[in-house]
A and B are shown apart, each in its own frame.
Chain A
């Protein structure tokens, strides 16, 4: 039966029943029957409406709920339309959520700390780097006013004046003495009085900048000192009539100063070449014995030059001369690094002292080169800084003996390029031992080329 027809019919019956009931009491039996039928129908219809309403209520939370059973067609139609609408809405919501999630992930991936501030300068969202940089937590610190947690006066001032033109250099609240953390913080206004806060780690940049400044200052100072001396001598020679002896003495000292400048420039060039050139590979092998023999000759010549021809000079002992080891890398670089170590030992050890130069193969296949002297030793506080450029324990003494202040920096660079490590042990007034340790990949026994198949 057509639903519309059945409904019309029910309605008609209801109306007829009502009219009959009102008109006459003679048809009581019929009227009662009609009234009961209408009531039953009303109850049934109300129950169906309730089922529909319940379903509507339920379906709001779960759009995929199946339609309730026993519904007439109009209601079924409504159910379908509602379901379709809800499904579409859910899809759109999901899409939006995915979109938001993607944007948040992108912001999380940023190497910069990101903090979104609302109109009241309260934290609305921040990424993980904001925690690393500023200690702000995306859960704990939301809707906290930013100046309550980042209290640096510069930031507070900039926010109060709403002046965001210049980036701020702040120390991170997480910085400690052992782990400095300097940040560049930018505030970018957007929308209606809202702010985006960006933080960038500039610790390394600042340190590099300080190093560069120190280096330029040091180089200028080191070059100016001999230049001043030279200029002074030249002026003297120009203005004063001098005897031959005095003249020769002066020229001799001028030569010394010029030599010092040349050494300095040579060392600087060596350093810049070491920094700029390609890493020495493991193709070129040099016998250690050749290196040691050359070092021995050079060391004896240098000692004799320093002490004078007639004096006995330092006691130089070489150990491990009979080795058949070979080493991979640049022979000239290694030669100059080793000689720098020996040169230091000779310069700082009194003429009657002993210098022990050694080569030992290690059980793991690596090897050690060591230079041990009986000099005055180095106080422990200087040791970590020895390889810094122009770092001098005793500057007068170092210059007097012809040092440039760059020797150990060169050594450190060369060794880094050869995967080797420099270790310095020293006891004041007993002597110092410089040890260079090479890894097994850089050392082989002569004639064992098969090892080097790669």
Chain B
């Protein structure tokens, strides 16, 4: 993915940081997948796995930042290399946060399972949003590996779907809470889970913004989709 430099050591440094980032991405991806899986099967062992992965993800974030500092200090990169390194640093932060959201989901499910109030809650309605969120994170990482701007833009567009799902789900939970105040505490748990899923989608979207930044050198954060498409063309 990286063009050749005069110093092959520089190439291998950049490659190894990328590999580390992708490894971290893989960890977060599987953490999210398992967190979401445990939403349907309430398996405590799976939830504990999710909670345990958290420490490893945090450690990887620190390792990658350290490696980045070393590369910047030693090579004084410019242009695209500099953008790549900056973007990796930001993507790491986003991945770590996405991992945190998976951790939160795990925690909330654990409390739902322990109170035993999982049966009558509309957990199935989260299905569309969870599928979208895992898919977006997966595609964001793929797009980074291939530096694929078209894929990055499609992620940017689809994040809105998760937001819509989240709004619909919130309305549904409100009706549940109004009908039967006993469901309030588990409804709140579910609300936080839905929010975490929505946030995972946002992190995928942020990652896709950095891909555009690496390739085109334009910072597209906080810009409208139309503007981004113009820049890319």
Contact = CB atoms under 8 A, between A and B. Distances in A.
Interface of A: 135, 140-141, 144-145, 147-149, 151-153, 156, 171, 173, 176-177
22 contacts: A144-B1, A144-B145, A144-B146, A145-B18, A145-B19, A147-B19, A147-B22, A147-B23, A147-B26, A148-B1, A148-B18, A148-B22, A149-B145, A151-B22, A151-B23, A151-B25, A151-B26, A151-B29, A153-B30, A156-B23, A176-B131, A177-B131
A11 B50 CA distance: 93
B138 interface: yes
A101 B7 CA distance: 37
Nearest to A145: B19
Contacts of B26: 147, 151-153, 156
B145 A152 contact: no
Nearest to B145: A148
Contacts of A149: 142, 145
Contacts of B138: 173
A141 B145 CA distance: 9
Contact of B141 (A144, A151, A153): A151
Interface residues of B, number: 20
Contacts of B145: 144, 148-149
Q: Which 9 A-B pairs have the closest CB atoms?
A: A151-B26, A148-B145, A148-B22, A156-B23, A153-B26, A153-B27, A153-B30, A149-B145, A151-B25
B127 interface: yes
Contacts of B18: 145, 148
Interface in B13-28: 15, 18-19, 22-23, 25-27
B30 A152 contact: yes
A156 B1 CA distance: 19
B4 to A, nearest CB: 12
A173 B25 CA distance: 13
Nearest to B139: A173
A177 B146 CA distance: 25
A156 B19 CA distance: 10
Nearest to B30: A153
B13 to A, nearest CB: 14
B60 to A, nearest CB: 11
Contacts of B25: 151
Given A144-B1, A148-B19, A177 B127 contact: yes
Contacts of B131: 176-177
A156 B141 CA distance: 15
